[in-house]
Chain A
């Protein structure tokens, strides 16, 4: 008896939508990145910059900083009161800026393909014959007589079995893990922050002569 044809391993896998299994999470990660970048930019523009001027430019919000310098006297002893100066610094420069982005996407796909087919055929037949009949006959020739008796017994038994067994299992496990982390700032952003920092110009508000 022919069993169902088994699918080859290649056939089993060719039906999988690999493009969406892998592409889907990656597309979602790219969209998440765009959203994170947008949210961060909005926040920085709204909290670290003045509202846009008529020409659309924004100036950074400045905070006041206090610089203290210990003054050393000619004899090497420090003066009791240090010189104090003031300067302005863009608020942006003191924030621990990091780019937030998806830094890891892993797609785990596990598939188990199990197919088996077995055909067991068992034929057994046993025949038992036991016919039972009783007969008797008698014949006589002259003074002699013959008597014949006998018995015949017959039984018949036939058994036959045919087993076939087919097993197929497909199991699939699909795991997508997305992790977002803090990445170093792009070069362009660090250049802007450096430019702000380099422009630091202290203004002396109080000083003591050494």
Chain B
């Protein structure tokens, strides 16, 4: 489900919608306010750290969900 998350735009406080998976792969996301030309991305200095944590978090989530399913 893309663009399910949001952070406030640091410039106009409108919403910047983003997809975490794309965000941690370096993609830039634009402010939803058409008059605000702001976009945001994770700095290359933090990209690896963010990507690692995101991937660990997602894989742990899947493991928990699979374990708890029973029939």
Contact = CB atoms under 8 A, between A and B. Distances in A.
Interface of A: 32, 36, 39-40, 43, 47-48, 61, 63-72, 78, 82, 85-87, 89, 91, 93-96, 98, 100, 102, 175-182, 197-198, 200-202
Contacts of B41: 65-66, 68
Contacts of B37: 69-72, 78, 82
A126 B5 CA distance: 95
Nearest to B50: A63
Contact of B7 (A93, A98, A180): A93
B57 to A, nearest CB: 5
Interface of B: 4-5, 7-8, 10-11, 18, 20, 23-24, 28, 36-43, 45-46, 49-50, 53-54, 56-58, 60-61, 64-65, 68-71
Given A47-B57, A70-B37, A86 B65 contact: no
A86 B23 CA distance: 16
A40 B50 contact: no
B68 A66 contact: no
Given A68-B39, A98-B61, A63 B46 contact: yes
B8 to A, nearest CB: 5
- The 7 A-B pairs with the shortest beta carbon distances in the complex, nearest first, are A64-B43, A70-B37, A63-B46, A180-B68, A202-B10, A64-B46, A96-B20
